[in-house]
Chain A
Amino acid sequence: MKIECNIDGKALSLSVNSNKPLSLILMEDLGNQSLTSYCRGNACGNCIVMVNDEAALSCLIPAFRIRGAKIRTFESYQRSRQYRDIERAYKATGTKPCPACYNARTLIIESILQDQSGAKQQNGAPAAKDVKLDKEKIIRELSLNTCQCMDMAELIQIVEIALGYRNRRRRVRRS
């Protein structure tokens, strides 16, 4: 099956099996090194990619569902400004995920940041630091990745700091 899509900014025409999972397409057909997942859909949470700017488990997306989609893996995400917010938060806390889950965890945090800042914009709340984060919700989102390398409290702290950087950067851009 011929599938046209955009992966990491490149327009590609792929000839793959129509039901092949996106995770396998990225790892086997495109040799993407930022993904390490062989759980076969058992939700290990290591194969996160951004599909049309929303985080998704690539092992749960078949090839026929990526027609015309814009896919962004960690390879291109790490060159973006958004990544800098999270990277700075890692540095500020002095902790970061282990190499096995680093990429996936970072993309999960990005998804949380998008959700949090999007929700605040909708509610019309101006200052992010004044709004209390829904920690229970964040813990639930972070638990998608089963790697035990980090404490939840550390991860929540990273999310809070990264959200602060993100909102500060947005305010500066607006003003």
Chain B
Amino acid sequence: MYEGVRSPLIYTPRSIGEFSTIIARHSQAILWAGGTHLMSRSDYYPGEARDGIIDLSYMEELKRITRNDRYVEIGAMVTARQLLSAGRLLLPPILQDTLRSMGTQIVRRQVTIGGSLCISDERLSLSTTLAILASSAEVKRYDQGKVTTHWIPIAKLYDKDGRLNLGSKSALLTRIRIGLEFGDFQRFVVFGDPIRRSDECGIVALQAKREQNGLSEVQFCVTFPRKAFHISKDIESKLSGSALPIHPEKVNTLSHELVAELTKMHSTISDLQLERARRIFESFLHDLNSQSLF
């Protein structure tokens, strides 16, 4: 079976320096992190990888987790399982929930942070949560022998449909940085099955700071894999500064505004997905209200 299928060359850089040399020669090579997404595509095998595969698993620099007083830095090749077990004390609770939602332990052993963020056309839970945590990613761009390093907010790595844009054909996401100052109200919900039925699924995340009787620094993101990656600045600004509890009428208005915004910007989201996202958003606000009563 599969006679005539060419076996792609595998490059195994041990450092970022070695990676630079390889990517300069093989700019079309596939970058391989955990491989869970690449291998779940129906056209994966037998398939063409003409310029070879660069296996990133030998690069120790990409497997580090470091922390100081202000932020945590996580290497792109750290797996979801490693991060979950190493980061119980240093990660925000919403990120722990997100990592747990990424699949069973067997799958989490393989899923890498960088790989999950760099899926070209599908946004899943990690991108959504990191976007509301205002985290950023270090991206190295390789253009005609030149290497430039940029820190890009995760929210700006993707377009409105959730497609990845690293700014260059040859680029490597090396690590992410998450600030340790986060809101005291965090909610994250995934509906549907993002792995088996991504067309029907959605991810909603919200973070806010409660100060006296009001809200501040509200961050909200809703994602529909392959359809939309939506950060609503309008709703965030309307919620920031709102007094708690939020009037039920305002909750209702805001949730319908969200649906209107999503419908206007992304025509492919189904009615069921919209309704589920709206109700989850409403439940977050009702939850905020109920907590403000104590």
Q: Interface on A for B, CB 8 Å cutoff?
A: 1, 16-21, 24, 28, 40-43, 48, 54-57, 59-62, 64-65, 108, 111, 115, 140-141, 143-144, 146
Contacts and interface: CB of A to CB of B under 8 A. Distances in A.
A111 B81 CA distance: 14
B106 A141 contact: yes
B110 A141 contact: no
Contacts of A21: 39, 44-45
A60 B104 CA distance: 14
Contact of A43 (B32, B109, B195): B195
The winner among B10, B32, B55, B195 for most chain A CB atoms within 10 A is B10
12 contacts: A19-B8, A40-B45, A41-B36, A41-B39, A43-B103, A48-B106, A57-B110, A60-B39, A61-B110, A65-B57, A141-B104, A141-B106
A21 B46 CA distance: 10
B293 interface: no
The winner among B1, B49, B110 for most chain A CB atoms within 10 A is B110
Interface string B33-45: 0011001111011
B40 A41 contact: yes
Contact of B106 (A1, A40, A144): A144
Nearest to A62: B35
B105 interface: yes
Contacts of A143: 104
A56 to B, nearest CB: 6
Given A18-B10, A18-B53, A28-B1, A40 B107 contact: no
B40 A60 contact: yes
Contacts of A42: 40, 196
Given A20-B2, A40-B42, 19 more contacts: A1-B7, A17-B2, A18-B8, A19-B49, A19-B53, A41-B40, A41-B41, A42-B196, A43-B107, A56-B110, A57-B107, A62-B35, A64-B53, A65-B35, A108-B106, A115-B105, A140-B104, A144-B104, A146-B196
The winner among A19, A43, A108, A111 for most chain B CB atoms within 10 A is A19
A56 B35 contact: no
Contacts, number: 87
Nearest to B46: A17
B196 A43 contact: yes
A62 B8 CA distance: 12
A64 B55 contact: yes
A144 B103 CA distance: 8
Interface residues of B, number: 32
Main SS of the interface on chain A? mixed
B85 to A, nearest CB: 10
B10 A40 contact: no
A88 B8 CA distance: 46
Contacts of A40: 40, 42, 44-45
Nearest to A140: B104
Contact of A62 (B39, B104, B195): B39
B272 interface: no
Nearest to B101: A140
Interface in B15-53: 32, 35-36, 39-42, 44-47, 49, 53
The winner among A1, A20, A57, A115 for most chain B CB atoms within 10 A is A57
Contacts of A61: 35, 39, 110
Contacts of B45: 17, 19-21, 24, 40
B249 to A, nearest CB: 36
Contacts of B40: 40-43, 60
Nearest to B30: A19
Contact of B7 (A17, A56, A57, A140): A17
